[in-house]
Amino acid sequence: METEGPRFPELFETWKEYGPGKKYPAIAARLAQLAHAGYLDIDDPALAARQYMALLATDLRIDLQVGRVTPEAEIERMAADGTKTFLRAFARNR
């Protein structure tokens, strides 16, 4: 879908809204709660949600682009690594 976005922008926008884009508001809301509770230092929860998802998806996206099936253990490692990086950037020092 992503590679065809320029040719079919309306279709791409619909796919983003009902596919990957659907999870961002929920993630942003949870990040806002964690910031409000003092665990994270976030000014813009929507931006932080997109950044978090980008960290989680980068390596997986590369595998998808080359047609490689990513083993479950690698997906878990990618998620853990992305989460660690996100927390290094946004965890509030207590």
Note the pLDDT tens digit of each residue in 61-74.
Answer: 777 777 778 888 98
User: Tell me, what's the pLDDT at 35?
Assistant: 96
Domain that holds residue 6: 2-90
Please write the tens of the pLDDT for every residue from 4-44.
667 778 877 777 676 666 788 889 999 999 999 999 999 99
Number of domains, the chain: 1
pTM over 0.75: no
Task: Say if CB 49 and CB 27 are below 8 A apart.
Answer: yes
User: Tell me, what's the pLDDT at 49?
Assistant: 93
